Structure 1
Amino acid sequence: MRNWQRLFNVLGMKEALEEVGFFRSVQEETIRTRQASEKRRDFLDLLLEAWAEDSDTTSASAKHVLTDKVMLAQCILFLLAGYGTAASTVVFSSHLLARNPKPQQRLRQELELVKEEGKLTYQGMPDIPGTNLHLKEGDLVQFPLWSFHHDPSYWPDPEQFRSDRFLSENKINIKNFTHMPFGMGPRNCLGEIMLAMRFALMETKVALAKLILAADLRIPPGHEDIDMESSPFLLRPKHGVYILLTPRKHE
């Protein structure tokens, strides 16, 4: 922490930003509420349990890592770290729905059916839908996920938008290790282990549901295809995504 404070001073950056103060007040209020109520077994409860265990350590040599600042940083990171991937998912999903009006309308009808008193709820949110190779220690393995996800031997008509592929009754047709958006096994996405993936998926579903209920999506002429930007981390459009939004008239 001291090294970070020195770096802040060298770069002339302020540690006590107004936005940090907002998150700190939310964290303190939420912790007080949690300590006076039942546990929810979520990310914050896990942090509080670890903090309690860390505080109970009486050994003089013990390192108390979970300070108030560290807990605040972890809570902010939980909220912010998934926004890039969630935003990419919303962008690509919106583009596909705009190119395919029939699935878009079907999704809108399903969302209208699950609304309770005109509002979307958490409970009502629908599911939007061996080799002989030997590796030596230290070998670097990289999975070509784009190739897997567009291979016609695993995905018939891979360039067609067919959301029915992921319906419950069709998942049996998906071969193991051919669909790995978050990786698999003990080295999969950390968010899947620490509940962050569930949070990211829910915020993605809410954003798409609100958008679909509020407007009709269409692709402007000349923007039917997306050029991808080469990136070692996130798949992103090279020149952005253009979609025409027409507000829907509600009865």
Structure 2
Amino acid sequence: MDLNGVSAVVSGGASGLGEATARDLAAKGVKVVVADLNEDKGKALADELGGVFVKTDVSDETQVQAAVQAAVDTGVPLRIIVNSAGIGWVTRTVDRAGNPHDLASFQKVIEINLIGTFNLMRIGAAAIAKTEPVDTDGLRGVVINTASVAALEGQTGQVAYSASKGGIVGMTLPAARDLAAVGIRVNTVCPGIIDTPIYGEGEAAEEFKAKLAQPVPFPKRMGKASEFAQIVRALIENDYMNGETVRFDGGIRFQPK
């Protein structure tokens, strides 16, 4: 699909993987709606890219509808949804003191990561379905969801996070089959250990990141957010990629800890 002259909604678009994706798409001529909770960073990025910022909690139906409508209101057809908003969480199912994982935090992770992804996918896809096809195949648009290798190889304490990301992987193929009827492709990316601002800055942060990268076979480093954005764009541009879950991890396979 040609990217020039279309609009996109990128959730979690103010930082990390979302920011890199927003920058990459904007460089290719996409009008980007940065959907994020961080108003300062989100507005600054949207202004820089010539896009639009909408404060968005992805688990909130009204706020997601507003973000999607903002893309429609740009005057160029909405054809791309990128779900990259999410939170991490580490708690054992039963801790060493014998206490059970609290239910509220499990529910929160599921609500944001899994339900939030579905929320934007369903509302965004409904808007894309109203556009005219771009080719003789009937293609109208693309949804890219972000899961994690933790969906496949969750580590100790990742029960909530892995469940949420595994749910995203699990709905990829049925969503692609559902949305085929309206000309929308759906793919999911499972990142491994990616270098984003979440790890902080300074000598201690660099030492921690170097330790994280040790199990990566090749290249022996963390992935770059720009590389994630590149694979997202490739999945959008390649018209025969549909219903797929793609690992993006340098060949790492997570151990229990």
The TM-score bracket by the shorter chain reads under 0.3
TM-score between the two structures when normalised by the length of structure 1: 0.22
In terms of fraction of residues, the more strand-rich structure is 2
Larger radius of gyration: 1
Higher share of residues assigned helix: 1
Give TM-score scaled by structure 2 length: 0.21
